Amino acid sequence: MSNSLAADLIIPIIKIIIVGLFPLIMVMVMVWLERRVVAFIQLRLGPNRVGFQGILQPIVDAIKLFFKEDITHTGVDKVLFNISPVLVLFSSILAFCFIPLGGTMQIGTYNLNFWVAESPVGLLLIIGISSISVFGVIFGGWSSNSKYPLLGALRSVVQILSYEIPVAFSVLSIIFFSQSMNMIDIVNRQKDAGIWYGFMLPVSFVIFWISVVAETNRAPFDLPEAESELVAGFHTEYSGIKFAYFYMAEYAHMVLASSLAVVLFFGGWLPPFPNVAALSFLHVIPGFVWYLLKIMFFLYLFIWIRGTFPRYRFDELVRLAWKWLIPLSLLNILVIAFVRSFA
Amino acid sequence: MFIHTFGPVAIQIAFAIGMALFLLIFTNAIGPKKYNPVKFDTYECGVSYFNDARGMFNVKFYLIAVIFILFDIEAVFIIPWSVIFMEFKKLGLGLFILGEMAVFLGVLVLAYIYIIKKGALKWD
């Protein structure tokens, strides 16, 4: 009895706490990594005083933001103004419960799964939950009753909506091969196939990656908060902890996007070449470590792109989505379906 | 089965909302509160603030949102289609189900060409 209680209740709750805190810990790592890497790209030093190589800088920043005054200025819609940061952060944390952070580990007779929930429509749920953040953005921009947040929110919503479609279509091509939207099944099918889907479907992956960079409002698509044009975009009027929520949510969405790229296109917790017998020693390293290594690569890619490319213009951004990525992704699906109906 | 899948999700929802609300209330309690009428003004660059910000905006934003709904509903149709695609293929109906979707996408492409010809996606 006590054993089943532990298995049914206590272990899931511990997992939920770990999975809930995981994006926030990754955010701290990312804030430090981004400032440091972008500084090196621009031949600066970046934060290097607080702790070893400045590693404690994000913690110090977070504590500072906790003690700041939370200003709700005059003329705002109070309810929406307060809901929107919570909504944005909530959606990015919740989506992680369907992402497998590792494989199944056998401890005695108990199978420890590295995911909170397994759902037959997991992929659809992740896409749906992560787009709740659009509401946070538009609520925040509209309720602020200020010009720059409103413009930033409008831009942001158009950008997120436009790039949502290529994401959905590029992810579809995975389903042709996995025949399932269950995230765990998708990784297991990649193991059976012996090849990560990213190498099998490079066009889908490139479309997915471009769209995801745009959807997380990152450079070179960071128009919603283009600081030289719109002050800070939709969160201009936010201060203190609410600003921190938007900031954390942006980075948490990057972690989520990298996790999706890893699980769908690069084998999740699997080591490279999972079926090659000569490389079976790679299975000694636990799946969670492989997953972490892979998402660190993609998070680094985000920063690398930001340090390398200049910002897009807004009409170019809309044109890229609607005239290039959407027709290309539709064609991609038809070609894959055509090939699959013969092979 | 249902409780095993979505029970943990419900706890995660509670955890995510709870943590966000707790930090919000906690930091509001410990943060400073000093009143100054200028501080509570809406942000503006260098000049004092005038007028309500919620005026008219470009109709293009609205158009994109409407076109998005068209494509999104189409994605809702394509997703189940791609899940059952291989089962139809096993029955020897692979080309049939592909043709069905090609007709559906053909209608959509017609609409897409119409949208572009009308200039709905033109920003200048």
Q: Dump pLDDT digits (tens) for B34-89.
A: 777 777 777 777 766 666 777 777 788 888 888 888 888 888 888 888 888 888 88
Least confident among A95-99, A143-147, A299-303: A143-147
Q: Count Cβ neighbours within 10 Å for each residue of A98-125 and write b for 16 or more, e otherwise.
A: bbbbbbeeeeeeeeebbbbbbbeebbbb
Write out the residue range of the structural domain in which residue B92 sits.
2-118
Q: List the single residue in B with minimal CA-CA distance to A86.
A: B20
Q: Verify whether the Cβ–Cβ distance B43 to A237 is below 8 Å.
A: yes
The domain that holds B12 is classified in CATH as 1.20.58.1610
B99 domain residue, yes or no: yes
B58 domain residue, yes or no: yes
The two three-digit tokens of residue A152, written as one number = 């930033």
Total domains in the fold of chain B: 1
The string of DSSP letters for A116-138 reads: S---TTHHHHHHHHHTTHHHHHH
Across the strands, what pairs with A105?
A112
- Taking CB atoms and an 8 Å cutoff, what residues of chain B touch A144? 42, 53
Q: List the single residue in B with minimal CA-CA distance to A90.
A: B16
Comparing CA positions, the residue from B71, B63, B65 lying closest to residue B104 is B71
Residue B6 CB neighbours (<10 A): 15
The domain segmentation of chain A, as residue ranges, is 2-340
Q: Verify whether the Cβ–Cβ distance B31 to A231 is below 8 Å.
A: no
Interface with A, mutate which of B27, B100, B114 (most A CBs under 10 A): B27
CA separation, residue A330 to residues A75, A226, A296, A327 (Å)? 45, 31, 30, 5
- Taking CB atoms and an 8 Å cutoff, what residues of chain B touch A333? 78, 82
Average pLDDT over all residues of chain A: 84
B100 domain residue, yes or no: yes
ipTM of the modeled complex = 0.85
Name which of B11, B82, B98 is nearest A172 (Cβ-Cβ). Answer: B82
Whole-number pLDDT of residue A199: 86
The string of DSSP letters for B11-69 reads: HHHHHHHHHHHHHHHHHHHHS-----TTTTSPP-SSS---S-S-----HHHHHHHHHHH
Distance between CA B54 and CA A254 in Å, rounded?
Answer: 31
Considering the entire predicted model, what is its pTM? 0.89
The two three-digit tokens of residue A103, written as one number = 């494989």
Least confident among A23-32, A202-211, A256-265, B112-121: B112-121
A64 exposed, middle or buried (CB, 10 Å; 0-12, 13-18, 19+)?
Answer: exposed
Q: Verify whether the Cβ–Cβ distance B31 to A75 is below 8 Å.
A: no
SS3 A236: coil
Structure confidence by residue, pLDDT tens digits, A191-241: 888 788 888 888 999 999 999 998 888 878 877 666 666 777 777 778 778
B87 domain residue, yes or no: yes
Across the strands, what pairs with A107?
A110
Comparing CA positions, the residue from A214, A163, A189 lying closest to residue A329 is A163
Structure confidence by residue, pLDDT tens digits, A265-311: 988 888 887 777 777 777 777 888 888 999 999 999 999 998 888 88
B123 domain residue, yes or no: no
> Please, which pLDDT band fits residue A1 given cuts at 50, 70 and 90?
very low
